[in-house]
Amino acid sequence: MELKTKKAAPFELSDSALRKISALKASEQDKFFRVYVTGGGCSGFQYGFKFDDFDKDEDAVLDFGDGVSVVLDHMSYPYIMGSKIDYIENLMGSKFTVENPNASSTCGCGASFSI
């Protein structure tokens, strides 16, 4: 089964991720949903997701429609370009996942990657 996604450069969000961000946004009134990449994790880089303020000098606001906007800093942009972000719920728990075509390897849990 292929996921339906809406695309806004540099990455895509699945319908499940859009719904989850929209639901979470209801309790985070004046904050933006931020997707970012930092150094660390067992493979070198790791993905992060949080609600945060918008920094005009450092961030781009990506509009995915349906009231969902995502903030991305310029340093994370090249590491996440071309990725697909999904939100899954299963017996192991619930989390955002990233399918990154630029990653040369990922850790077992999928939270970190290397390029």
Domain contains 115: no
Spatial distance between the Cα atoms of 24 and 26, rounded to a whole number of angstroms: 5
Is position 83 within any domain?
yes
Tell me the mean pLDDT in the region 40-67. Answer: 80
CATH number, position 103: 2.60.300.12
For 3, other C-beta atoms within 10 Å of its C-beta total 13
Query: Is residue 114 situated within a structural domain?
Result: no
The answer to whether residue 36 sits within a structural domain is yes
Domain that holds residue 41: 7-109
The answer to whether residue 42 is domain-embedded is yes
Q: Which of 6-15, 58-67, 80-89, 90-99 has the lowest mean pLDDT?
A: 6-15
32: in domain: yes
User: 3-53: per-residue pLDDT in tens?
Assistant: 444 445 688 999 999 999 999 988 887 788 999 988 776 667 788 899 988
How many structural domains compose the chain?
1
Residue 14 falls inside a structural domain:
yes
29 found inside a domain: yes
Which residues are CB-contacts of 3 (< 8 A; sequence separation ≥ 6)? 14, 15, 16, 84, 86
